[in-house]
């Protein structure tokens, strides 16, 4: 026994452990998914997509703008990504879902969510408005569940931040880079895990299951703005895992980063479409800040739809990476208005009254 151990000791001493590990050379990888994040002699491989694409072992061998370290950030097939985005649906349908969700609050008059939904041209049924107390910031969260019979989908819409305490608490969690294990896999931002549990405890699954049973051939849409956008992201995965036979589409507007790389890989796997609408100049989708490519941090999912500041019809760009230096990072100037005015709609969430929209 001692003899064996001695041999191992001598071996390890003479040959550094790396030679026992499989020696991968970045250059052997010919595509981004194979390359990004592989380890070559303790250096991370990165996909360099400037030109035809090469896999390189050092950050100094590629312009950072064209360098991919995380697999979930590999360039997308842009034709496929673009074909799933329906701008009209966002401007004329999702917009009212989100306006309605933002009014699920004791600070809004009874019937306020319905006043928004009445702008829809479709035949819909509002199933539930749920406001639930939240422990983390002693405030509340809100969501609606509705059914659109014409488009044959069940909607879960999540309210955005509507109190300064809630804003402050999220900011605090972002600054700490606080991530928590998510029961369905990966990690998500600590605040969202707390919200996830709070919403589940309010009976979310039971409410959803009642509608899902009643409309067995309807798909799901999960949507929201800002905090609501991130919660919609988390719940899109929840719904997709609950109903593996149905399509779940996610529309997150101006949402912060929700989860880590494993979480995003699960979204890619299970959620049919996930679009993030981002307006140039909005700082919030850049939260929690990614200070390093190496630390475990929240990372964006999916397909970013990047609008210039005026958000004119058809002016968007479908970004070919989840985290692209050419999209969300956008202009050097940032403005709170870019977060609050989306598609000519006012999404400032403070003591909201009935929807008087469109004027």
Ligand X SMILES: *[C@@H]1O[C@H](CO)[C@@H](O)[C@H](O)[C@H]1NC(C)=O
Point out which residues bind ligand X (CB under 6 A).
51-52, 86, 88-89, 92-93, 123, 133, 149, 151
With respect to ligand X, which residue has the nearer C-beta, 133 or 315?
A: 133
Q: CA-CA distance, 317 to 337, in Å (whole number)?
A: 20
With respect to ligand X, which residue has the nearer C-beta, 52 or 77?
A: 52
- Smallest separation (angstroms) from ligand X to the CB of 201: 10
With respect to ligand X, which residue has the nearer C-beta, 294 or 313?
A: 313
- Smallest separation (angstroms) from ligand X to the CB of 133: 4
Which tokens go with 45?
């491989």
With respect to ligand X, which residue has the nearer C-beta, 194 or 297?
A: 194
Among 307, 311, 323, smallest CA distance to 36 is for 323
- Smallest separation (angstroms) from ligand X to the CB of 161: 18
- Smallest separation (angstroms) from ligand X to the CB of 138: 8
With respect to ligand X, which residue has the nearer C-beta, 92 or 286?
A: 92
Please write down the HEC assignment for all residues of the chain: CHHHHHHHHHHHHHCCHHHCCCCCCHHHCCCHHHHCCCEECCEECEEECCCCCEEECCHHHCCHHHEECCHHHCCCCHHHHHHCCCHHHHHHHHHHHHHHHHCCCCCCCCCHHHHHHCCCCCCEEEEEEEEEEECCCCEEEEEEEEEECCCCEEEEEECCCCCHHHHHHHHHHHHCCCEEECCCCCEEEHHHHHHHHHHHHCCHHHHHHHHHHHCCCCEEEEEEECHHHHHHHHHHHHHHHHCCCCCEEEEEECCCCCECHHHHHHHHHHCCEEEEEEECCCCHHHCCCCCCCCCCCCECCCEEEEECCCCCCCCCEECCCCCCCCCCCCCCCCCHHHHHEECCEECCCCCCCCCCCCC
With respect to ligand X, which residue has the nearer C-beta, 126 or 151?
A: 151
C-beta neighbour count of 334 within 10 angstroms: 15
With respect to ligand X, which residue has the nearer C-beta, 88 or 213?
A: 88
- Smallest separation (angstroms) from ligand X to the CB of 292: 29
- Smallest separation (angstroms) from ligand X to the CB of 121: 8
Q: CA-CA distance, 126 to 112, in Å (whole number)?
A: 12
- Smallest separation (angstroms) from ligand X to the CB of 194: 16
List all residues 6 or more positions away from 37 whose beta carbon is below 8 Å from its beta carbon. Answer: 44, 45, 69, 70, 71
With respect to ligand X, which residue has the nearer C-beta, 39 or 89?
A: 89
Phi and psi dihedrals of 330, rounded to 5? 40, -140
- Smallest separation (angstroms) from ligand X to the CB of 243: 19
With respect to ligand X, which residue has the nearer C-beta, 65 or 149?
A: 149
With respect to ligand X, which residue has the nearer C-beta, 52 or 217?
A: 52
């Amino acid at each position: 026994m001692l003899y064996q151990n001695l041999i191992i000791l001598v071996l390890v001493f003479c040959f550094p452990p790396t030679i026992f590990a499989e020696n991968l050379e970045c250059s052997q990888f010919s595509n981004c998914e194979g390359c990004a994040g592989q380890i070559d002699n303790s250096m991370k491989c990165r996909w360099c997509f400037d030109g035809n694409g090469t896999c390189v072992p050092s950050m100094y061998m590629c312009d950072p703008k064209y360098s991919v370290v995380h697999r979930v950030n590999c360039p997308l097939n842009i034709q496929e990504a673009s074909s799933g985005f329906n701008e009209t649906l966002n401007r004329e349908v999702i917009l009212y879902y989100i306006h309605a969700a933002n009014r699920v609050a004791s600070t809004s008059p009874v019937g306020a969510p319905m006043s928004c939904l009445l702008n829809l041209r479709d035949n819909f049924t509002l199933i539930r408005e749920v406001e639930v107390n939240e422990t983390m910031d002693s405030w509340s969260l809100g969501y609606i569940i509705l059914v659109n019979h014409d488009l044959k989908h069940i909607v879960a819409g999540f309210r955005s931040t509507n109190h300064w305490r809630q804003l402050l608490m999220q900011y605090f969690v972002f600054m700490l880079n606080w991530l928590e294990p998510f029961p369905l896999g990966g990690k998500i931002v600590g605040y969202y895990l707390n919200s996830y549990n709070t919403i589940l405890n309010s009976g979310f699954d039971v409410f959803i299951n009642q509608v899902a049973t009643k409309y067995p051939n309807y798909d799901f849409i999960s949507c929201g703005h800002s905090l609501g956008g991130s919660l919609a992201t988390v719940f899109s995965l929840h719904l997709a895992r609950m109903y593996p036979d149905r399509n779940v589409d996610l529309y997150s507007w101006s949402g912060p980063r929700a989860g880590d790389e494993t979480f995003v890989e699960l979204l890619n796997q299970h959620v049919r479409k996930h679009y993030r609408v981002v307006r140039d100049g909005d700082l919030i989708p850049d939260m929690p800040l990614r200070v390093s490519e190496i630390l475990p941090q929240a990372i964006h999912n999916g397909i970013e739809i990047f609008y210039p500041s005026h958000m004119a019809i058809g002016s968007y760009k479908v970004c070919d990476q989840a985290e692209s230096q050419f999209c969300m990072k956008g202009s050097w100037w940032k403005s709170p208005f870019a977060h609050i005015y989306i598609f000519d709609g006012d999404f400032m969430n403070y003591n909201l009254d009935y929807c008087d929209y469109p004027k």
